[in-house]
Amino acid sequence: MSVPDLSVVIPIYNEEAVLLEFQLRINSVLSKLDLSYELLYVNDGSTDNTLNLLQQLKTEDTNVCFINLSRNFGKEAAVTAGIDNAAGRAIIIIDADLQDPPELIPELIKPWRDDGIDVVYARRRSRAGESWIKKTTASFFYRVMGQIGPVALPRDTGDFRLMSRRSVEALKTLREQHRFMKGLFAWVGFPQQEVLYDRDKRFAGETKWNYFKLWNFSLDGITGFTTAPLKLATYLGFIIATFAGILGLKIIFETLVNGADVPGYPSVMVVILFLGGTQLMFMGILGEYVGRIFNESKNRPLYLIQDFEKSNDLQKFDEKMAVVNEE
């Protein structure tokens, strides 16, 4: 009895349509490896039959364990819960919708085992079943974050990756409330390597992301991981103030020297509306940062666990260690 070599963390929310197929495919891959493993599902407050299916899988497969969160905390919190409670020497994070193929896992494991690479991330070469708008905006977001963020983010890369135990322990020390996991993965550093793959269409069910949620997610990533918007407000304010000063001097000169009339109502209204809109926009950005300070100051837990059903081997290991500690 020992901790597993590999922990696979799978955050799920209302995935009853795909869960059994995912379990079949990932077990088919992992059973061929000479590594012990656990499948750690994190149920993020699902409202369909997902929890019952997890209990069924737990009964049928000794490698399955699951965390049932007390409510829906969001994917970033669910991933964090899985990372915090995974016991393996290395951890793989993968979604259950089968867009990220489990068959790629051996390629993620190889650089870690052979070369000691701490983080092996899967980079998307193509993205099937996604509109050109989503692909374009996603590409633009990664490029913007790469330019303004404190560390370079791997482009076209999601959460699908392998992390060594030392990189996981480093990641676990980062406890901010507004979690942009892709940024945190990059921030911890350590040797990293990419593996290219073609992303598939969703196997079944519906995506939990719409354009409004993706927009909010991008805002969370930008404002939660960099202060660049605040710097932009400073620079833009300086440029507008400089332009206004030059324009004011020009108006005074033309009025006093040439006797020209002062520009009328339409131009004044345009300037007022432009400045007012700019001020409101940057007040909103400032409010985002203040709101994050407020949330961090409350120091609430990132998630709450309602149930934690461990795998049989790990449960026995914990019981054995409890006896040793008592002795």
The reply to whether 201 and 163 lie within a common domain is yes
- What is the rounded distance in angstroms from the CA atom of residue 162 to the CA atom of residue 269? 56
The reply to whether 283 and 309 lie within a common domain is no
> Is residue 234 included in any domain, yes or no?
yes
CA atoms within 13 A on the CB side of 299: 1
Length of the chain measured in residues: 327
The reply to whether 162 and 287 lie within a common domain is no
The owner of tokens 């332009």 is 243
> Is residue 1 included in any domain, yes or no?
no
| pLDDT tens digit sequence for 267-288 | 666 677 677 777 777 777 777 7
The reply to whether 313 and 250 lie within a common domain is no
The reply to whether 292 and 311 lie within a common domain is no
The reply to whether 62 and 157 lie within a common domain is yes
| Percent of the chain whose predicted confidence (pLDDT) is above 70 | 70
| pLDDT tens digit sequence for 209-231 | 555 566 666 666 666 667 667 77
> Is residue 100 included in any domain, yes or no?
yes
> Is residue 285 included in any domain, yes or no?
yes
Look at residue 91 in the predicted model and tell me its pLDDT: 92
Look at residue 121 in the predicted model and tell me its pLDDT: 87
Task: Return the H-helix or E-strand segment holding 12.
Answer: strand 6-12
Look at residue 92 in the predicted model and tell me its pLDDT: 92
The reply to whether 159 and 220 lie within a common domain is yes
Q: What is the DSSP string of 22-58?
A: HHHHHHHHHTTSSS-EEEEEEE-S--SSHHHHHHHHH
Look at residue 162 in the predicted model and tell me its pLDDT: 93
Q: Which domain holds residue 293?
A: 228-298
The reply to whether 63 and 137 lie within a common domain is yes
Rounded to 10°, the helix 19-30/105-115 angle is 40
Q: What is the CATH number of the domain that holds 322?
A: 3.90.550.10
Look at residue 131 in the predicted model and tell me its pLDDT: 61
The reply to whether 61 and 201 lie within a common domain is yes
CB 151 within 8 A of CB 174: no
Task: Return the H-helix or E-strand segment holding 163.
Answer: strand 157-164
The reply to whether 107 and 252 lie within a common domain is no
Furthest-apart CA atoms within the chain: distance in Å: 98
> Is residue 251 included in any domain, yes or no?
yes
The reply to whether 293 and 171 lie within a common domain is no
Question: Cα–Cα distances in Å, from 88 out to 169, 260, 274?
Answer: 12, 78, 56
The reply to whether 122 and 140 lie within a common domain is yes
Phi-psi label, residue 129: left if phi above 0, alpha if psi -120 to 50, beta otherwise? left
Look at residue 269 in the predicted model and tell me its pLDDT: 62
Look at residue 63 in the predicted model and tell me its pLDDT: 86
- The residue ranges of the chain whose pLDDT is under 70 are 1-2, 127-142, 144-150, 202-225, 227-228, 248, 251-252, 254-256, 258-270, 273, 311-327
The owner of tokens 């692909």 is 135
Task: Return the H-helix or E-strand segment holding 69.
Answer: strand 64-69
DSSP state of 264: -
| pLDDT tens digit sequence for 130-179 | 666 666 666 666 676 666 666 777 777 788 889 999 889 998 888 887 77
Look at residue 98 in the predicted model and tell me its pLDDT: 84
Count how many domains the chain has: 2
